[in-house]
């Protein structure tokens, strides 16, 4: 199924810049302050091109390649708004989400890296978006292969698996009843809140999207990454995303 159509005269409601201000490749953390951190510490000649609702969008260059970094906000509704506008109005071709997650299997520890090879959601996001009843969606196969290859070049260990995109912050809720309803042939390795929406919307536009996650807490450990560390200490995943998306 394809993306829903909007009226021809409609302009983007949440991104205030020209199409030329946005690069065709985008690295997308959840936190807009993390986008600012990436722009200031990894990009050359970074320019703030939109700050509507304080969702900062910067465009600059990384190793000579023009790239945009912006926040997605928290949750599938916020991600869906920005991903849709980037693909539909601004001609973006690739998005790599750089986010955080909670580990749900004992093999994962803080701060391991995960590459999502699928995303599961129990709700009706896909059906509401374009009438698709699916609950399991997939990233770009070619982009994921590039990320895996790049991780080897950078000597970074990646754990690949299915993530669950929840509709509430798992750390503040009892997710065991939700996990108990996941089909037995799907092994959930971690939970986060945005990947399902990103993958489904990218697929509807026949565009590329992937998701790299850093484990910041685990149901099997008392270790918890601080808010400050979440904002500024995810350099491995940021570097991996930037190196992969320019290839």
Which are the catalytic amino acids? 217
> What is the three-class DSSP state of 111?
coil
3-state SS, residue 7 = coil
Q: Select from 26, 193, 196, 194 the least CA-distant residue to 96.
A: 26
> Cα(81)–Cα(94) distance, rounded to whole angstroms?
16
Contact 189, 103 (CB under 8 A): yes
- Whose CA is closest to 35, among 241, 247, 246? 241
Contact 192, 165 (CB under 8 A): yes
Is 213 exposed, middle or buried, given 0-12, 13-18 or 19+ CB atoms closer than 10 A? buried
Residue 189 has a CB neighbour count (10 Å cut-off) of: 22
């Amino acid at each position: 199924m394809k993306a829903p159509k909007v009226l021809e005269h409609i302009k983007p409601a949440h991104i205030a810049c020209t199409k030329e201000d946005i690069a065709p490749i985008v690295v997308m953390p959840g936190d807009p302050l993390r986008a600012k951190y990436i722009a200031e510490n990894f990009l050359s000649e970074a320019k703030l091109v939109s700050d509507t609702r304080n969702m900062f969008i910067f465009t600059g260059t990384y190793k000579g390649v023009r790239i945009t970094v912006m926040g997605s906000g928290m949750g599938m509704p916020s991600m869906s708004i920005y991903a849709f506008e980037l693909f539909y109005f601004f001609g973006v071709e690739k998005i790599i989400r750089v986010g955080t997650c909670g580990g749900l299997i004992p093999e994962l520890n803080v701060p391991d890296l995960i590459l999502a090879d699928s995303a599961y959601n129990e709700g009706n996001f896909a059906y509401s978006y374009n009438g698709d009843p699916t609950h399991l969606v997939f990233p770009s196969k070619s982009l994921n292969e590039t990320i895996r290859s790049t991780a080897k070049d950078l000597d970074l260990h990646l754990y690949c698996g299915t993530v669950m995109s929840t509709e509430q912050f798992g750390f503040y809720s009892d997710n065991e009843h939700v996990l108990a309803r996941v089909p037995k042939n799907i092994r959930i390795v971690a939970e986060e809140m945005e990947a399902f929406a990103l993958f489904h919307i990218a697929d509807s536009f026949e565009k590329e999207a992937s998701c790299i996650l850093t484990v910041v807490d685990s149901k099997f450990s008392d270790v918890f990454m601080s808010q400050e560390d979440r904002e500024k200490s995810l350099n491995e995943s940021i570097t991996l995303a930037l190196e992969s998306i320019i290839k």
